[in-house]
Structure 1
Amino acid sequence: MSDVFSMPEGFRLLPGRLSRTEQAGLIDAVVSARQAAPFWRPTMPRTGQPLSVTMTNFGSLGWVTDKEKGYRYEPLHPETGQPWPAMPPLLSELWQELADYPAAPEACLVNWYAPGCRMGMHIDWDEEATDAAVISISLGDKARFRIGGPKRGGKTASMVVSSGDVIVLGGAARRCYHGVDRIYPGTSTLLDDARFPGGGRINLTMRRVRLP
């Protein structure tokens, strides 16, 4: 049996897909959005353990989790009770270009990784439309992204993603475990301390939730 990990079909890494100007525009959109939909720290189902990252969302639906109801999509912010801000046009354009799907994205999860944050290996599987790709956009500090197979604990591969990189998880890759091992502090100046104290990384993850 080979010890070499083979990238799953449907995985694409697009280095430097977004220009610095486009990256800055998306960060401006996040800053504007958090006035109505501030970052909050969700908790794990059953245990109530807080996640290391803080989150908010763009779109008609937002991904949320808490001890009582678990992973799900909701149309309103869990703390303010207000609708999520609209998807920035650039994100909609990226979806049309990269997703190859007959319906628009409904949710864009916004994760703020401060230095020291990580995301354990998981599969995005809370959507009905699991045939639609997941599109992930990195902004700010570099991060080590890890991808595996459809079963937990199998072989994996890791790579460093930089600000402006885009990852597409389509096809078989849509059903594979993936996560973020670490953040490399100070490797980008995109997140200034005035708006993001301590800097870090913003990750935008677009998803189609409901079947068309």
Structure 2
Amino acid sequence: MTADLFDSAAEAQPSREEIADGAVLLRGFVRPIESELIEAARAVVTQSPFRRMTTPGGHLMSVAMTNCGERGWITDHTGYRYDPIDPRTGAPWPAMPPVFRDLARRAAEQGGFAGFSPDACLVNRYEPGTRLSLHQDKDELDYLAPIVSVSLGLAATFLFGGLARTDKPRRFRLVHGDVVVWGGPSRLAYHGVAPLAEGEHALLGRRRINLTFRKVL
């Protein structure tokens, strides 16, 4: 991946919206490299297919997911954690594609967090009606690094709250190509996704793919 593609992304996407202290929304940031991102995501899924995981409380997650990178996030009856092995395949998670890693670094830098080097990428598949309840990303050992979240496919309503579950979240409409970066004072903010509305995307059909980059160790 050449740097000029990412430079073009920044030029094509002048909107940088501060949504909270330490959190920004980069509109259309990945549109110039959307085809490469989708192709790389499909390669990951070929190696480690999507699956709906079960929470420690026995609930089947609404969203289907997989991972790539040095660690993958998993949940089962024993709890939430990161593991280097995909429990479904018994093999290490697929390597993080270079286009993923470079994108995450560039987006984090645009968000004010230079030097971001993710070691995990959660790949989530949303379909109409699926949702992600409000939660904190707190299974990582490194809270100094930001979270970088990339939206592909159908539009979604992103909920971004405060440091307490009772804080009323703000609602942001995320469309194909948008990126949200949060860290610093907002690193442990509660966030989620409202039930996905019906729709059809030209590239991904009736689904939304979300790439979430994290620094685990």
Query: Does 2:105 match 1:96?
Result: yes
CA distance in 2, matches of 1:89, 1:109: 15
TM-score (norm 2): 0.85
For structure 2, which runs of at least 5 residues remain unmatched after alignment? 1-17
Q: Shift of the alpha carbon at 1:166?
A: 0.3
Cα deviation, 1:64-95, whole Å, max 9, x if unaligned, reads 0011x211001111111111111122221123
Query: Does 2:153 match 1:140?
Result: yes
TM-score (norm 1): 0.87
Once structures 1 and 2 are overlaid, which stretch shifts more, 30-39 or 129-138? 30-39
Q: Conserved in 1, the CA contact under 8 Å of 2:163 and 2:189?
A: yes
Which of 6, 15, 20 is the aligned partner of 2:27? Answer: 15
Q: Conserved in 2, the CA contact under 8 Å of 1:101 and 1:132?
A: no
Query: Does 2:123 match 1:110?
Result: yes
Which of 168, 184, 209 is the aligned partner of 1:202? Answer: 209
AA of the residue aligned to 2:194 = D
Query: Does 2:190 match 1:177?
Result: yes
Q: Conserved in 2, the CA contact under 8 Å of 1:145 and 1:180?
A: yes
AA of the residue aligned to 2:150 = I
- Number of residue pairs aligned between Structure 1 and Structure 2: 196
Q: Tell me the equivalent position of 1:79.
A: 88
Q: Conserved in 2, the CA contact under 8 Å of 1:142 and 1:187?
A: no
Secondary structure, in 3 states, of the residue corresponding to 2:172? strand
CA distance in 1, matches of 2:172, 2:195: 11
Cα deviation, 1:155-205, whole Å, max 9, x if unaligned, reads 22101000100000111111110000122332522214xxxxxx2100000
RMSD: 1.6
Q: Conserved in 2, the CA contact under 8 Å of 1:110 and 1:204?
A: yes
